[in-house]
Structure 1
Amino acid sequence: MTSLSDIRSFRFRSVDGPALMAGLIIAVPVFVTLIAGLVNGGGDAWSHIRDTLLVGYTGGTLGMLALTGIMILITAVPAAWLVTMYQFPGRGVFEWLLILPLAAPGYVLAYAYADLMGLMGPFQVAIRDVTGLSARDYWFPDMRNLPGLAFVLTCALYPYVYLTARAAFVSQSVCALEAARSLGASSFRRFWQVALPAARPAIAAGLALALMEAAADYGAAEYLGVPTLTFGIVRAWQSFGEPAAAARLALVLVAIVIGLILAERYTRGRAGSQQSSTRWRTVSRARLPLGAGLAASALCGLIFLVAFVLPVSRLVWLVMESRDSIAPIGRALFNTLILAGSGAALAFVLALVIALTVRQSGLVAGFARLMAST
C-alpha cells in the first residue's frame, strides 16, 4: 500500500520508468472505457438497454459466474488433492493430463458440445436408433442455456484452480497432516479441516482468475445463446452502433471484475499457515487400496474425458468428415501463431517488470501493482 509519506517523499527512480510504462499499457484501455462510459450518454440505445436488457445481462453474468464457480471447485479441488496426496493407477499421467483443457478455448468447447449434445448429434441419434423413440419421447440435456454455458466454461477453466490448489497442497505443512493423522483424523477430516483451510488463499486466487476469464467470455455465451454482459457489449456496438452504450455495459463488467478481485483479497486476508522446518519435504503419498485406487483413477479419467477427450475428438471427427471442403488455413494459422507469440511475449515482459517491483515501495510501484490486479 502507498502511504501519505510515500507521496510526500516521492522521487522518480530509474527503476520506476519500466514499471510506470507497464502500468500505463495496462491502464489505458480501462481508463478509456471509464471515460467513454461516464462522459458519453449512450443515446437512445443505452436507454433501451438500461430499461429492458440490463437486468437480464447482469443476471445472466452473475448466475453464470456463481454456477461456474461451484462446478469448478467441485471438479478441480478433489482432483488436485488426489494426485497430490495419494498413489493410484495412472496418477503420474493424470497429474499433467488434467491441465490440457487449458489448450481448448471456451467457445471451441461450446461448439463441440453443442454438436455432440444436439438433436442430430451422435448421442441423440444413437438413442433414437437403439430405442426407436422420436425426439419428443425422451429428455436430453440442452447445452443452449445457462447451465450448459457454465458446464462448458468449467471444462475450459477448471485447470486454473487445479494448478493453484495442487501447488498449495504440495507446499503445505507435512507435520500438520502427520499430527492430524496421529490424532486419529480420517482422510476426509485431514483434507477438510487441515489441508483445505491452509490452501484456501491459493484456491481463491485461482478461482478469481478463472471467473474473470469466464466474465470476459463472449464466444461461448454468444454461440449458446445466453445473455451476458459481454454478449450485450458486442451487440450494443455492432447492432445498435453505439460504442458509448457498449462502454457503459463494460463499466458494469469492470465493476464485477473489481468485486471478484476484492472478494479474493478479502478471502485471502492475512491467511497463512505456520510451516515447520520440514515444510519442503516431499509429500509422502499414501497408496490407496485397489478399489479406492481404481475409483480415483476413474474420477480423474472422467474429468479428462468430459473436459478434453470428448469435445476434441468430436472436432477431429468433424474435420475428417469435411476435409474435402475445408478452406486453406495456412494464413490463418500463421497469423494465430504470430499473435499468440507476440501477446505471450508482451505479457511476460509486463509481468516480469511488475513482479520486480513487488518489494518496492512508492507511488509508481503501487500504481503498477494495482493495474496488474485489474
Structure 2
Amino acid sequence: MVDLTHSSSANKPKFNWLKVAAIFIAATLSLPILVVLVNVLMGDGDVWRHLYQTVLADYIQNSLLLMLGVGIGAFFIGVPCAWLTSMCDFPGRKLLSWALLLPMAMPAYIIAYTYTGILDFAGPVQTFIRDLTGWSYGEYWFFEVRSLGGAIVMLTLVLYPYVYLMSRAAFLEQSENTLEVSRTLGYSGRSAFFKLALPLARPAIVTGLTLVLMETLADYGTVQYFGVNTFTTGILRTFYGFGDVVAASQLAGILLLFVTVLILLERYSRHRIRYHASGLKKASSRRINLTGSRGVLTCAFCLFPIFFGFIIPVSVLAYWAAFKAELPDARFAQLAWNSLYLAGVAAMIAVILALVLSYAIRLNRDRSVSASVGIAGLGYALPGTIIAIGTIVPLAWLDHRIIDLVKYYSGEKVGLIFSGTLVALLFAYTVRFMAVSLGAVQNGLGKIKPSMDMAGRSLGMSPLKVLTRIHIPLLKGSVLTALLIVFVDVLKELPATLVLRPFNFNTLAVRAYELAADERLIDAAPASLMIVLVGLAPVILLSRSISSRVEHSKVESAE
C-alpha cells in the first residue's frame, strides 16, 4: 500500500535557504549604492548650488583630463610591452614578461609620495642640479611633480599592468595560422600588428583600459596630495568641510554616472565584437627573433616602466626606511597589527560570502540568483568614497534608532554599535572587494564536475554538506587566491578607511597618508614599504599562474 501522505509531503517544494541567502546578501551589499542614489534626490540644494557655481566644473574637467592622460599612457606602455613579450624573442624576455606586473604592487599614493621626495625642490635631483650649475630658485625650469601632469604620470606607472595583462593574454591566444595568412598577403610584422593582431585583441584591451579608468576615478591619495581637484577629493571635502552628506552623495552620484558609462561602454564593446581564432597552434609558439640593437632597444623599452614604476620607488623607500626614518617602535607594531587584522577578517568575510553566492548560482539557474550575484559584484567598480558615504548613512541611522529604543525602554545610554566602529569598515571592504573573491571562487567552482554534486547527494548529503565536505577541499587553491588578493587590496585601501575608521584607530595606509600630508615623507617610508612588500604576494601568484598557463598552452600546441 502506497503512503500517499508521505508521498505528497515528499513532493512539496523545500524551502530554498541558499537562494534566499544569496538574494539577501546581494540586497545588503547593494545598500550603499541605493543610499547614494536616494540622497541625490534629497536636500535643499544650497551647498550643491555653491559647488555648482564654484568647483564642479573643475572637478569634471580634471577628472576627464586625468582619465584621458592615464588611459593614453597605459595604452602606449601596456599594449606594446604585451606584444613584444608575447610575439618576440629578445634578451631578458622571460624575466621581463612577469616583471612588468611588479608595479601592480605599488599603490598610486605611495609612488606619488616617493617621487615627490625625489623630484621636489628640496629633493636630491633638484638639489644636485643647483649644486652643479649654481642656479637658484626661478632660474631653471623643472617638471612640477605636484600637478595634474604629475598625477597622470604616477597613475600611469602603476595602472598600465591592467592593460598589459589583458593584452598579453589576448596575444598569447591568437592563432599562428592567422598571422601566417597575413604574411602571405604581403603584410610586414608591423602591418600585421596594426591591421590584424591589434584589432583581434581589441576587446581585451578595452577591458584593461576600463579597469584603468575606473581605478583612476577611484584614486584619492595621489590627487589629494598633488592638489588636483577631482570628484574623490570633492566628495571627502564636502563630507568633512560642509558636513553635508546629501551634497557629498550628489557628487558621488555624478561619479557613479561616470563609472556606469565606463561599464556600459566596456560591455557594449564586447557585445558588438566577436573574434574567433582559426587553428589550434598559438602564435607565441613561433616568436620573432630580435637580435643586436633591435633586441637591446626592445629590452630597454620593456625595462623602462619597471625601472620607474617599481625599482626606483622601492629602492628609495628601502633607503629611507633603513637609514633616515625613525626606527619602528610599539606604535608601528600596533599599526601593522591593525592593518593585518582588519585585512584578514575582511578577506575571510568576503570569501565566505563568495562561497555562498557562487554555490547558490551552481544550484539555482534562475535569473533572480544570477542578477543578485551580479549586483553583489558591482562594488569593485565603485570608488571607495562612494561606498564609504553609502555605508555611513544607513549605519548611522540604524545606530540612532537602537540608541532611541534602548533609552526609551531602559533609560540606559549606549554608544555607536555599527557606524564609527570596525563593523562599518568591514562592511565597506566587503562591498568594495566582493567581486574579487567572487571571480576567484566562481572560476574554481566551474572546474568541478557536476557529477561530484550528484555523487554527494546520492550518499544522502545535504547541499551544505556537499559544499563543506566536497567542494571546499577541492577549492583550496581558489580560496587561497581570493583570500590573498582581498587581503592585499584591503591593506592598500585609503579613502573608505579615512571616512569610516573608528576614532583613534589607524592603519599603515592611513599613517603613511598622514605623515605625507605633514611633509614627513621619510617617516612615511616604513609603513609604505611594508604595504608594497605585502602587495608583492598576489603579483607573484599572478605571474606564476600566467607562466603555468603559457606552459600548458605550449604542451597542447606540441600535441
In structure 2, how many angstroms separate the alpha carbons of the residues matched to 1:14 and 1:197? 46
In structure 2, how many angstroms separate the alpha carbons of the residues matched to 1:191 and 1:272? 18
Q: Does the CA-based 8 Å contact 2:234-2:251 persist in structure 1?
A: yes
Q: Which of 340, 355, 359 is equivalent to 2:343?
A: 340
Distance 1:350 1:253, change over 3 A: farther
1:37 matched to 2:40: yes
Q: Does the CA-based 8 Å contact 1:86-1:288 persist in structure 2?
A: yes
Q: CA deviation at 1:37?
A: 2.4
Q: Does the CA-based 8 Å contact 2:36-2:253 persist in structure 1?
A: yes
In structure 2, how many angstroms separate the alpha carbons of the residues matched to 1:237 and 1:307? 33
Distance 1:89 1:276, change over 3 A: same
Deviations 1:326-366 (A, max 9, x none): 55411211222233334444445556666674994513312
What does residue 364 of structure 1 align with? 369
Distance 1:278 1:325, change over 3 A: closer
What does residue 66 of structure 2 align with? 64
TM-score normalized by the length of structure 2: 0.61
Moved more, 132-141 or 156-165: 132-141
Q: CA deviation at 1:166?
A: 0.8
In structure 1, how many angstroms separate the alpha carbons of the residues matched to 2:358 and 2:296? 42
What does residue 313 of structure 2 align with? 311
In structure 2, how many angstroms separate the alpha carbons of the residues matched to 1:19 and 1:182? 54
In structure 2, how many angstroms separate the alpha carbons of the residues matched to 1:352 and 1:277? 37
Give the alignment of 1:1-374 within 5 angstroms: 16-41=19-44, 43-279=45-281, 283-324=285-326, 326-327=328-329, 328-348=331-351, 357=361, 360-373=365-378, 374=381
Structure 2 counterpart SS, 1:136: coil
Q: CA deviation at 1:18?
A: 5.0
Structure 2 counterpart SS, 1:33: helix
Structure 1 counterpart SS, 2:229: coil
Whichever residue aligns with residue 276 of structure 2, its letter is: Q
In structure 2, how many angstroms separate the alpha carbons of the residues matched to 1:186 and 1:355? 47
Distance 1:12 1:65, change over 3 A: farther
Distance 1:196 1:350, change over 3 A: farther
Whichever residue aligns with residue 339 of structure 2, its letter is: T
Q: CA deviation at 1:50?
A: 1.9
Deviations 1:135-177 (A, max 9, x none): 3221111111111111111112111111111111111222111
Structure 1 residue runs without a partner (length 5+): 1-10
Structure number with greater Rg is 2
Moved more, 312-321 or 238-247: 312-321
Structure 2 counterpart SS, 1:168: helix
May I ask how many residue pairs the two structures share in their alignment? 363
Could you tell me the percent identity over the aligned residues?
38
Q: Does the CA-based 8 Å contact 2:73-2:156 persist in structure 1?
A: yes
In structure 2, how many angstroms separate the alpha carbons of the residues matched to 1:345 and 1:284? 44
Q: Does the CA-based 8 Å contact 2:89-2:289 persist in structure 1?
A: yes
Q: CA deviation at 1:371?
A: 4.7
Q: CA deviation at 1:264?
A: 1.0
What does residue 3 of structure 1 align with? none
Distance 1:354 1:117, change over 3 A: farther
In structure 2, how many angstroms separate the alpha carbons of the residues matched to 1:260 and 1:322? 43
What does residue 8 of structure 1 align with? none
Q: Does the CA-based 8 Å contact 1:232-1:249 persist in structure 2?
A: yes
In structure 2, how many angstroms separate the alpha carbons of the residues matched to 1:143 and 1:70? 19
In structure 2, how many angstroms separate the alpha carbons of the residues matched to 1:353 and 1:156? 33
Moved more, 361-370 or 106-115: 361-370
Whichever residue aligns with residue 87 of structure 1, its letter is: D
Whichever residue aligns with residue 16 of structure 1, its letter is: K
Distance 1:289 1:351, change over 3 A: farther
CA RMSD between the two structures: 2.4
What does residue 486 of structure 2 align with? none
In structure 2, how many angstroms separate the alpha carbons of the residues matched to 1:340 and 1:150? 29
Whichever residue aligns with residue 72 of structure 1, its letter is: A
Structure 2 counterpart SS, 1:239: helix
Q: Does the CA-based 8 Å contact 1:354-1:372 persist in structure 2?
A: no
Distance 1:183 1:115, change over 3 A: same
Distance 1:355 1:167, change over 3 A: farther
Q: CA deviation at 1:280?
A: 5.3
Q: Does the CA-based 8 Å contact 2:102-2:310 persist in structure 1?
A: yes
More relative contact order, 1 or 2 (CA 8 Å, 6+ apart): 1
Moved more, 81-90 or 344-353: 344-353
Moved more, 231-240 or 307-316: 307-316
Whichever residue aligns with residue 31 of structure 2, its letter is: V
What does residue 5 of structure 1 align with? none
Moved more, 141-150 or 338-347: 338-347
Q: CA deviation at 1:114?
A: 1.3
Q: Does the CA-based 8 Å contact 2:157-2:309 persist in structure 1?
A: yes
Structure 1 counterpart SS, 2:30: helix
Structure 1 counterpart SS, 2:55: helix
Q: Does the CA-based 8 Å contact 1:72-1:158 persist in structure 2?
A: yes
Distance 1:56 1:336, change over 3 A: same
Q: Does the CA-based 8 Å contact 1:89-1:294 persist in structure 2?
A: yes
Q: Does the CA-based 8 Å contact 2:85-2:93 persist in structure 1?
A: yes
